[in-house]
Amino acid sequence: MAQVFHHPFAVGGDEAPIGRVSGITAWIIGQESMFSLLLTGALRSSKENNSAYFLLAGLSFAYGVFHAAGPGHGKAVVTSYMVSNERALRRGLVISLLAAILQGLVAVALVGALAGIFRVTAQRMNAAASDLEITAYCGIVLLGIVLLATKGAALAAALRQTWAARFFAGAPPRLALPQDGQNVFFADDGAPNHLHGPDCAHCHIPDPKQLGGDFSWKSAAVTIATAGARPCSGAILILVFALARDMFPVGVAAVFAMSLGTAITTGSLATMAVFAKKIALRFSGRGSPRAEIIGRLIEVAAALCVLLFGVALLVASFAGMDATNS
């Protein structure tokens, strides 16, 4: 992780540094900065001018779209999760939307309760945001472990089937067990074009549709929670500022408009990831053992990404805490 220390003027958690960029990344940052300025400008003037509210909502939405286009941990977690676990696109979109709304809710709850009710200081708010952040990072690690275990087991099973099939392919016929009602193992040459009819007696690679059924709302909920638990600095600043100007509801509306924009971008990324995986599988021959293994490998790789990502974030945030405490 590039950012080991907490930023001196951090608002909530640390934002990722931008470092060296060019091309489309630069363009996105340009859009982000522009909408950020327009948005804060509209917020500043909306106290005097009621018609600024709609403008504010539109700008917040646009800002959310571009802000989410950059790699942040929320998008990375949702997208990796989708690649690792998800086949149903609609569900992925719901997950993206819920994560974005949760992110807005967390920011509103954090500022509303801490600043609005308990009137805490900036450091207390940063500390609370930091706790949330660490909890979210632990959640990512946990999600990574669960996904890796599930997907690793599925990969191992797929490999076992194929290896077994290959191993027995050149073996004497006595190893091939004919259909006897109990034992259904049979020699197979492992050729991808080998036909498996419904009445085929020998061993089947598990039907991907059945394996796809291992969707669990638990892991989806953890994904939503970890992706949405960390409020972004922009939202916190908008809310605190709106609160100081006695226009908290305006800030809340702006933040939720931002959430909607974020959901659209995260949803698109998740969609792209799922399509990329589908295309990869199609090219490797749908339903073939090879496609099965490649599919499983992609899933395991994505699960590993989630895990490593969580560990990296956790390590970085603890390193940062040590630096500020010392």
Site for another protein, residues 72 to 131, rule: CB under 8 A? 72-73, 75-76, 79-80, 83, 115, 118-125
Determine, following the binding rule CB under 8 A, whether residue 249 of this chain makes contact with another protein: no
Q: How far apart are CA 195 and CA 65, in angstroms?
A: 47
**CA distances for 163 relative to 30, 41, 187, 242, angstroms:** 52, 63, 11, 63
Q: Which of 149, 153, 276, 315 touches another protein by CB under 8 A?
A: 276
Please report which residue ranges of 229-288 form alpha helices under DSSP H.
233-244, 248-283
Q: How far is the CB of 3 from another protein (least distance, A)?
A: 6
Does 184 engage in binding with another protein (CB under 8 A)? no
The residue written with tokens 């040459």 in the block is 189
Cβ proximity to another protein: between 176 and 280 the closer is: 280
Nearer to another protein, 68 or 203 (CB): 68
How many other C-beta atoms are found inside a 10 Å radius of the C-beta of residue 130?
20
What gap in Å lies between CA 127 and CA 134, rounded to an integer? 11
Fill in the per-residue mask, 143 to 182: x = in contact with another protein (CB under 8 A), - = not in contact: ----------------------------------------
In whole angstroms, give the CA distance from residue 326 to residue 106. Answer: 29
**Which stretch in 8-16, 159-167, 202-210, 211-219 sits in contact with another protein by CB under 8 A?**
8-16
* 65 binding another protein? (CB under 8 A): no
- The least CB distance from residue 140 to another protein, in Å, is 10
User: Which residues 281-310 are close enough to bind another protein by CB under 8 A?
Assistant: 283-284, 294, 297-298, 301-302, 305, 308-309
**Alpha-helical runs (H) found in 170-247:** 208-211, 217-228, 233-244
Span near another protein by CB under 8 A; candidates 46-54, 71-79, 155-163, 170-178 = 71-79
Q: Name which of 293, 319, 311 is nearest 145 in CA terms.
A: 311
Shortest Å, Cβ 307 to another protein: 11
| Torsion of Cα atoms, 190 then 193 then 198 then 202, to 10° | -20
The residue from 205, 263, 273, 314 that contacts another protein (CB under 8 A) is 273
What is residue 158's three-state secondary structure?
Answer: helix
Contacts of 224 (CB under 8 A, 6+ apart): 95, 98, 99, 102
Min separation Cβ 21 and another protein, Å: 7
In the block, tokens 């990329």 appear at 276
Least distance in angstroms from the C-beta of 234 to another protein = 6
**3-class secondary structure, 26:** helix
| Residue closer to another protein, measured from CB, 28 or 164 | 28
Q: Is 258 in the site for another protein (CB under 8 A)?
A: no
Among 29, 157, 176, 201, binds another protein (CB under 8 A): 29
Residue 134 CA to residue 124 CA, distance in Å, equals 15
247: phi then psi, degrees, rounded to nearest 5:
-140, 45
The 3-state DSSP class for residue 54 equals: helix
Residue 295 Cα distances to 97, 157, 217, 288, angstroms = 26, 13, 22, 11
For the CB of residue 141, give the shortest distance to another protein in the complex, in Å: 13
Q: Which of residues 229-248 bind another protein (CB under 8 A)?
A: 233-234, 236-238, 240-241, 243-245
Residue whose CB is less far from another protein, 17 or 181: 17
Exactly one of 3, 89, 152, 247 binds another protein (CB under 8 A); that residue is 3
Among the candidate windows 27-35, 150-158, 185-193, 252-260, which touches another protein by CB under 8 A?
27-35
